[in-house]
Amino acid sequence: MTDTTITADAPTGGADSAASVDETLAALTLEEKASLTSGEDFWTTKSAPGVPSIMLTDGPHGVRKQRANGDHLGITDSVPATCFPPAVALGSSWDVTLLERVGIALGEESLAENVGVLLGPGINIKRSPLGGRNFEYLSEDPIASGVLGSALVRGLQSQGVGASLKHFAANNQEADRMRVSADIDERPLREIYLRGFQRVVEDEQPWTVMCSYNRLNGVYTSENPWLLNTVLRDEWGFTGLVVSDWGAVNDRVAGVEAGLDLEMPSSSGRTDAQLVAAVRSGALAESVLDTAARRAIELAFKAVAGARDDASYDVDAHHALAREAAGASIVLLKNDGDLLPLATDASIAVIGELARAPRYQGAGSSLINPTKLDNALDEIRVLAASDAVTFAAGYAADGVDDGALLAEAVAVASAASVAVVFLGVPAEQESEGFDREHIELPAEQLALLDAVIEANANTVVVLSNGGVVRLSGFADRVSAIVEGWLLGQAGGGAVADVLYGEVNPSGRLQETIPVRLQDTAAFLDFPGEHGHVRYGEGLYVGYRWFDAREIAVSFPFGHGLSYTTFDYSDASVSADADGLVVRLTVTNSGPRDGADIVQVYTSLPGSAVVRAPRELKGFAKVSLAAGESRVVEVPVRRADLAYFDTRVDQWVVEGGTYTVEIGASSRDIRATSTVEVEGDAVRVTLDLNSSIGELMAHPVASQFIMQAMASQGDGFTSALMDDPGMFKMMESFPIGRLAGFPGMGIDREQIEQLIAAANAA
């Protein structure tokens, strides 16, 4: 072990590898089986004969393992671990390979700390900018969340450490999170809020899924059989264990019955006894408890098989990875006149307390105790010429108004060629457990910025924030804006790298930056009242909303600048049974090496169901040397083209001519193509209340009707079919009500026969 290497203690317990899960389970008493389905304490599971105890701990962007003498409330004092950038930043990198590498590093650190399951990633949708935990989530888009979440799980689990995909599901706010019912129609639920989870489960089989605290359409997710069994297991094929969020269990027996396998943390035996009593009374089948206990045994065996007593990691190497990841996550929002990157000998005034006291992660259960901590001011001084940098704090960390600090900042700004102002959301405003009240930067920071802009025409703003902030008050008055999110322990170095061009920025927004909070989709329906929050915006979340309503935004989803330029040419799209393949040539037409994020959006004009004007379906990060060109392929899975058809409870790919847009952001579409996609056959069960339009859309019923018409000559039905105006008028008319209309030429009995024949065909 070197100074910068952390190694594992010996793994706790050990599975009897010779014994199968079934044998182990069969040898347990009822009490032992019940005991396996809840925690021993805050972070470990119980052992039983042949079953070792394992540790599950936070998560998601570092290992937060509490010391033995911790507070046992799970909040304070954890062992040092690399604080990688939180999800808000990692997501903005759109870099699948990078996230997999971060996952691997998290796995190495988990092994070194003898942690069997790391509690992450969190992939809930950023529904409102006010969501208190948006810093822990990846995107406002489900495909981006699913693809990037998969990469984290893949990396972590490749090391023999389990992931816990959370918070399942519809935990999109902190307000009343332990009780509120997220009331969501089935299409948005499936297409927006569950889609990312589905992708990660189907592609990566996370060892565990963590159910959320909230209720979903009235039922606690911890005891929701539709969510945990029907959807997660029967439809998606999940084979792992469902663990409760810490304290999410409302009714333990109902939970186990519904597919909840492990209650965390410990209930001190109270709810285990309830399970035993329920089995004894016949209220709960023992086989149901066996299923949960079996999954707990399987998880423990997997964790012990993955554990390595020689595990270690290199603290410096992980710090370097954290810096690389942070650099790839920074989004350059604006750069007028190519003010950035800075020359190393340019005289710059660094202004803002956040430059030397960084805000690099959010508060709550994901709070990592970092192995090191960079700050931007020191790192800028490493990269810049020795006499080029001056500093003024500008505002006090506690927000107390201080005229002297402001005057000092104006003085250094006036004397420098460029002012770099660090602004951000105070830590106390962004945390697990409560939502934000607004998206404004603190007034004293905005006053400082106004004064600096007056003093220096070359002003750069660097932001530190977990959720988006309103920029419309000053965006057009500054030269450059660097969106620095919360960047983890090496974020200070990464900001310096971007400012001086050591790293060419390639991050792109995963969350639209609105002009005003009032413009956002959930504004009128967040966070709900009296235990319910209605997702009234339906499918129109994030950019889907702004595009459908044609609302101006400050910076659109997918936006981000580079110090070079990229051109797209030769775009083409082809379709096959697997989906689409989008091909294009990307050229780095500027002076520097750099990376672009190519985004593919689709839409279906004339669709029979409501759809957003464009939906992200694929993306690719492309690194190109200056002047280099490359053909890039972006595959789109056929399943990702599907909408959820609530008539048949199935995903359906609607046939038709799809529009495929290739863009550098959702509002910077560089090429548009169309492609024919063959649709799935949808067989809706018909009855007398089915409309004429539905009958005509039915593959069999429509044939019968055409035949009936042909045999009738001039009757009402043929007039209906021959006259488009008449058909439009009658399209929504229930077929049963037509029977017996004068001149119809078809009676009720015949219609019943027609429907029966169509349904049977």
Binding residues for ligand BGC (CB under 6 A): 58-59, 74, 119, 166, 245-246, 365
Q: Give the span between the Cα atoms of 541 and 534, in whole angstroms.
A: 13
Residue type, 369: N
> Rounded to a whole number, what is the distance in angstroms from the first to the last CA of the chain?
72
Q: What are phi and psi of 631, to 5 degrees?
A: -80, 130
Alpha-carbon distance values, 129 to 135, 370, 512, 745 (Å): 10, 27, 9, 59
Q: Give the span between the Cα atoms of 55 and 84, in whole angstroms.
A: 21
Of 119 and 200, the one with the shorter C-beta distance to ligand BGC is 119
- Least separation in angstroms between residue 231's CB and ligand BGC is 21
Neighbouring C-beta atoms of residue 646, cutoff 10 Å: 12
Of 122 and 370, the one with the shorter C-beta distance to ligand BGC is 122
Strands 215-216 and 219-220: antiparallel
Strands (E) located in 160-240: 162-168, 181-183, 208-211, 215-216, 219-220
Of 37 and 366, the one with the shorter C-beta distance to ligand BGC is 366
Q: What is the CA angle 394-396-397, rounded to 5?
A: 120
Residue type, 536: G
Of 92 and 244, the one with the shorter C-beta distance to ligand BGC is 244
Residue 31 neighbours by CB under 8 Å, 6+ apart:
272, 276
To which H or E segment does residue 470 belong?
none
To which H or E segment does residue 188 belong?
helix 186-188
3-state secondary structure at position 177: coil
Q: What is the 3-state secondary structure (H, E, C) of 427-463?
A: HHHCECCECCCCCCCCHHHHHHHHHHHHHCCCEEEEE
Of 365 and 465, the one with the shorter C-beta distance to ligand BGC is 365
- Closest residue to ligand BGC in the complex (CB): 365
Of 433 and 679, the one with the shorter C-beta distance to ligand BGC is 433
- Least separation in angstroms between residue 74's CB and ligand BGC is 5
Closest-CA residue to 439 (of 126, 89, 93, 84): 126
Length of the chain: 761
- Least separation in angstroms between residue 78's CB and ligand BGC is 11
Structure tokens at 753: 């026969």
Strands (E) located in 32-187: 56-57, 117-118, 162-168, 181-183
Catalytic residue, candidates 58, 141, 176, 245: 245
Specify whether the CB–CB gap between 276 and 34 falls below 8 A: yes
- Least separation in angstroms between residue 120's CB and ligand BGC is 7
Of 246 and 391, the one with the shorter C-beta distance to ligand BGC is 246
Neighbour-count burial for 432-446, b at 16+ CB within 10 Å, e otherwise: bebbbeebebbebbb
Of 431 and 554, the one with the shorter C-beta distance to ligand BGC is 431
Q: Give the span between the Cα atoms of 194 and 541, in whole angstroms.
A: 13
Q: Give the span between the Cα atoms of 552 and 516, in whole angstroms.
A: 10
- Least separation in angstroms between residue 146's CB and ligand BGC is 19
- Least separation in angstroms between residue 440's CB and ligand BGC is 26
- Least separation in angstroms between residue 431's CB and ligand BGC is 11
Of 59 and 663, the one with the shorter C-beta distance to ligand BGC is 59
- Least separation in angstroms between residue 63's CB and ligand BGC is 12
Instruction: Confirm whether 245 is a catalytic residue.
Output: yes
- Least separation in angstroms between residue 536's CB and ligand BGC is 25
By annotation, the residues acting in catalysis are: 245
